[in-house]
Amino acid sequence: MVVVRDIEFYSLCEHHLLPFFGHVSIGYIPDGEVVGLSKLSRVVEIYARRLQIQERMTNEICNAISEGISNKGVIVRCEARHLCMQMRGVEKSDSVTVTLEATGCFASDAAMKQDFLSLLTKPEEKRD
């Protein structure tokens, strides 16, 4: 499994024209070849730079990687803070939105998905 964790991004909500920002983590199982790690960050950048909603962005990143490289499965987790939630409407300043999209073995094998999610926990956050 190849994992790139905490890729920073900034985007604009297409509904409210306010920023949302956070981190994307990507995992994939290579099928014969690997891709340069910076290419994964570039895919995040391509989709984040559009007027966007987080749910679609997560899906588009996952699909682009799944279709663009030879793999047995791709998983993308996105965690973001939305200024539309913090500044207007309900004004919940501590809210965080998490989205997850998976293909291949990550979609069909709960243990693989859990392995990926466990790798996203920073050492100081692990609990015994």
For residue 64, give its domain range.
2-123
* Residue-level pLDDT at 121: 87
Per-residue pLDDT of 2-40, as tens digits, reads: 999 999 999 999 988 899 999 999 999 999 889 999 999
Per-residue pLDDT of 61-108, as tens digits, reads: 999 999 999 999 999 999 999 988 777 767 667 789 999 999 999 999
CATH of the domain at 46: 3.30.1130.10
Predicted TM-score (pTM) of the model is: 0.90
* Residue 125 exposure: Cα atoms within 13 Å on the Cβ side: 6
Distance CA 21, CA 70 (A): 29
Whether 3 and 27 have beta carbons less than 8 Å apart is answered as yes
* Residue-level pLDDT at 85: 78
Q: Is beta strand 71-82 parallel, antiparallel or unpaired with respect to 97-103?
A: antiparallel
* Residue-level pLDDT at 124: 67
> Would residue 128 count as lying in a domain?
no
Task: Please list, in sequence order, all residues whose beta carbon lies within 8 angstroms of the beta carbon of residue 108, skipping any fewer than 6 positions away.
Answer: none
Q: How many domains does the chain have?
A: 1
> Would residue 80 count as lying in a domain?
yes
What positions carry a catalytic annotation? Answer: 13-16, 54, 82, 84
Q: What is the DSSP string of 38-91?
A: HHHHHHHHHHHTSEE-HHHHHHHHHHHHHHHS-EEEEEEEEEEEEHHHHHSTT-
SS3 letters for 43-54?
A: HHHHHHCCEECH
**Strand, helix or coil for residue 118:** helix
**Strand, helix or coil for residue 23:** strand
